[in-house]
């Protein structure tokens, strides 16, 4: 097991130190430490129950932490201060497996809702932002469509566009392709690859191992609630340092 840390935190978007999270008597995260630099795409992989999604949810304060410290985009998430959490969520976007789109609203309104209610943009300003982010995900023509008229891949791309509209410093993706067929998965992964080229800092929990190996800057392998291995994919996949990761990648999970 390794707990690698970078030599400097100056460019870090996320700094995790000795993080512990329990659900009752179950320790889901057991002393996690890592750093994610700005502009990096970091893929978190591991078996079900290894703590991947819990770690991601801690980064957006959707789960509170029991021990350790967590700084995300300069916010001290471990403080549990409500104002800090509110400011954090302005800087961090998160996209889940379920799209969570409002079925009674158009695609455009799904995106502009938070812009007008949270950021207090005018309707016209919000619409300009919506059209810009829809173009980024290749869905300009769907602005006036309703969620039921979209494919799963299109719905997930709208969910990504909705998060991008808030101009986050960091994007979190939690198994966003796990409910999609291969063709639709390709649509969503292309959007994420485009975001990487534009310099967006991203953390994704994923089972798309080929994508993680090809596109991610850093791969984090979690096992038993800990960071078991972490490093550039070309190193980890070529020369696994632990038997657990070697078994994981050989199983094709």
Task: Please give the angle made by the CA atoms of 145, 151 and 152, to the nearest 5 degrees.
Answer: 120
**What are 14's strand-pairing partners?**
36, 72
> pLDDT-based confidence at 3, cuts 50/70/90?
very low
Distance (Å, whole) CA 180 – CA 176: 8
152: three-class secondary structure by DSSP: helix
Residue matched to tokens 């890592």: 34
Burial class of residue 110 (count of CB atoms within 10 Å of its CB; 0-12, 13-18, 19+)? buried
State residue 4's pLDDT score. 38
Higher-confidence residue: 2 or 63?
Answer: 63
- Which residue from 28, 27, 33 is spatially nearest to 1, judged by alpha carbons? 33
Identify which of 61-70, 174-183, 243-252 has the greatest average pLDDT: 61-70
Q: What is the pLDDT of residues 214-242, one digit of tens each?
A: 999 999 999 999 999 999 999 999 999 99
Provide the percentage of residues in the chain whose pLDDT is more than 70.
Answer: 95
Q: What is the pLDDT of residues 184-198, one digit of tens each?
A: 888 899 999 999 999
**What are 42's strand-pairing partners?**
203, 218
Is the per-residue pLDDT at 180 higher than 60? yes
Q: Averaged over 197-209, what is the pLDDT?
A: 93
Q: 12-101+169-250, what's its fold? A: Rossmann fold (3.40.50)
Provide the percentage of residues in the chain whose pLDDT is more than 90.
Answer: 79
């Amino acid at each position: 097991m390794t707990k690698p840390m970078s030599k400097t935190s100056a460019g870090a978007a996320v700094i995790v130190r000795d993080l512990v999270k329990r659900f009752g008597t179950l320790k889901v995260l057991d002393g996690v430490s890592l750093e994610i630099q700005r502009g990096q795409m970091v893929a978190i992989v591991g078996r079900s129950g290894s703590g991947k999604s819990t770690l991601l949810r801690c980064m957006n304060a959707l789960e509170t932490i029991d021990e350790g410290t967590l700084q995300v985009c300069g916010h001290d998430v471990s403080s549990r201060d409500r104002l800090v959490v509110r400011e954090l969520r302005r800087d961090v976007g998160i996209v889940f497996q379920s799209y969570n789109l409002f079925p009674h609203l158009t695609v455009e309104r799904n995106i502009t809702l938070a812009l007008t209610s949270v950021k207090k943009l005018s309707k016209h300003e919000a619409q300009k932002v919506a059209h810009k982010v829809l173009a980024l995900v290749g869905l300009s023509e769907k602005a006036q469509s309703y969620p039921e008229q979209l494919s799963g891949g299109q719905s997930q791309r709208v969910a990504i566009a909705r998060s991008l509209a808030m101009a986050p410093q960091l994007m979190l993706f939690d198994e966003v392709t796990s409910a999609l067929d291969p063709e639709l998965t390709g649509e969503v992964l292309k959007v994420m690859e485009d975001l990487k080229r534009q310099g967006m800092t991203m953390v994704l929990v994923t089972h798309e191992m080929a994508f993680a190996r090809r596109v991610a800057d850093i791969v984090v392998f979690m096992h038993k609630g800990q960071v078991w291995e972490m490093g550039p994919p070309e190193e980890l996949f070529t020369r696994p340092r632990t038997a657990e990761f070697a078994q994981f990648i050989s199983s094709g999970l």
